[in-house]
Structure 1
Amino acid sequence: MGFDQISLKGRALRLLAGREHSRAELQRKLAAHETEPGEVAKALDELEAKGFINEQRVLESVVHRRSARLGAARVRQELQAKGLDPQAVAQAVADLQGSEETRAREVWRKKFGEPPQDAAAHGRQVRFLLTRGFGAEVVRRVVRRTAHQDDEG
């Protein structure tokens, strides 16, 4: 059993070297390599005790990597898929919602840079932002404001 234990921890550490992983993610990825029930849990307990697995770091890493390109709804999905603490996820999402419109405008600017010329273009811009998880109200404001800037200036 000792050898498998090392190999499970080794596999976990290799995964963690690539990016932060939640305990639930590691459990999923290592389950196939378990030879005795509870082996993966034991290996993960040891790594968690040593600070190699840290849910807060996972959360911050996802928010840092994804928030510039995705709306709060999509970031929430990714955090939930990692099996992170629901309250921590809710707090991170609430924080993101404060900057939602600014982030949506930046994503819009990089992708389109100019107001939609017709209804089809308008629909395309709206769908693009919606599929990235930005809220409908924010998307409407971002696309509408850019369209009206031409009228005013």
Structure 2
Amino acid sequence: MSELGGKDKQSPSLKARALRFLSMREYSRKSLGAKLEDSVARSLKLQRAREKSEESSLGSQDSGNSDLANSIPVKPLSIQIEEVLNDFEARGWLSDQRFAEALVRRRSERFGTRKIQDELQQAGVDSSKTTELLKSLKETEFERAHALWLRKFGVIAQEQKEKARQYRFLASKGFSSDVVSRVVTGRSS
């Protein structure tokens, strides 16, 4: 193979992939596991395509001696991923609580409690870990909705059609109907 441009580059280990992903941003346990599965699946697909390409360019001389056969893991991929995730949690590198706090910080300016709560559930974060975060979000929901409304509209609508448009906008961002009604009609209490 060295005659054809060097030895194939080996794909990174699961731990290396997980560290690379976590170095970019926080992930929940569930989302990091899914990201690792996708990454490995893409790598295997590329490796198979590369091997097929090499076989066709070299002919079928070494069709029985595939590098892929040597790279088949001893344990199933899902078990390997679970072990990496457990190790990272034990070391404090992976934390659903930290992920939840980061998501709330990132999304609270533009979204209501309901939308953020849905995102946390989709990410697989246990609701017991988010109770306090969601409570503090609910306490500030009116102020956040009003600030978003001011940036987007800034004027209380006189026509019903415009009120409905403002209402739909805030409701789609996950703010409660009570808060949306108060903001759109200009009531502070």
Larger deviation, residues 124-133 vs 36-45: 36-45
Residue 20 of structure 1 is matched in structure 2 by 26
Instruction: Tell whether 2:50 aligns with 1:9.
Output: no
Code of the residue aligned with 1:145 in structure 2: it is G
Counterparts of 1:114 and 1:12, CA distance in 2: 47
Offset at residue 124 of structure 1 (A): 0.6
Higher helix share: 1
Identity of aligned residues (%): 38
Instruction: Tell whether 2:116 aligns with 1:75.
Output: yes
Instruction: Tell whether 2:165 aligns with 1:124.
Output: yes
Code of the residue aligned with 2:144 in structure 1: it is R
SS at match of 1:53: coil
SS at match of 1:27: helix
Root mean square deviation of aligned Cα: 1.9
Unaligned runs of 5+ in 1: 147-153
| Structure 1 length-normalised TM | 0.86
Larger of the two Rg values belongs to structure: 2
Counterparts of 1:10 and 1:111, CA distance in 2: 43
Counterparts of 1:64 and 1:137, CA distance in 2: 23
Deviations 1:115-151 (A, max 9, x none): 11311111110000000000000000011117xxxxx
Instruction: Tell whether 2:119 aligns with 1:98.
Output: no
Larger deviation, residues 78-87 vs 134-143: 78-87
Code of the residue aligned with 1:68 in structure 2: it is E
Counterparts of 2:170 and 2:164, CA distance in 1: 10
Residue 54 of structure 1 is matched in structure 2 by 95
Count of aligned pairs: 144
